[in-house]
Amino acid sequence: MMPKVSVVIPAYRCGDTLCQAIDSALAQNVPLEILIVDDCPEAPVEEAVKKYQGNPAVQYFQNHKNLGAAGSRNRAVALAKAPYVAFLDGDDYWR
């Protein structure tokens, strides 16, 4: 099924809160894809995403150098497949 919403999550030093952000997006009642861009990777962020390896909706990308939140968002938007884009920070969540 084609996603209706691409959820863009820039992640930088948020390994302890990233799962809550991902889970809150997955709880929405809409077909979506989640594009996580790890901005200058650190182990805790990558470790948090491993929990979702079997879920095709969750996609993980690493920047080779720090691009900042805007650069990471732009990268994810360029990869998005859905007609709508929603932004969610790695240290935030949706109700």
DSSP character for 22? H
State if pTM tops 0.75: yes
Residue-level pLDDT at 35: 98
Residue whose pair of structure tokens reads 């994810």 in the numeric block: 76
Cite the DSSP H helix spans in 7-67. 18-26, 43-50
pLDDT one-digit tens code per residue, 1-51: 899 999 999 999 898 999 999 999 999 999 999 999 999 877 778 889 999
Task: List the one residue out of 82, 86, 75 whose CA is nearest residue 21.
Answer: 86
Contact (CB, 8 A) for 47 and 78: no
pLDDT one-digit tens code per residue, 69-81: 999 999 999 999 9
Q: Which residues touch 1 (CB under 8 Å, ≥6 apart)?
A: 31
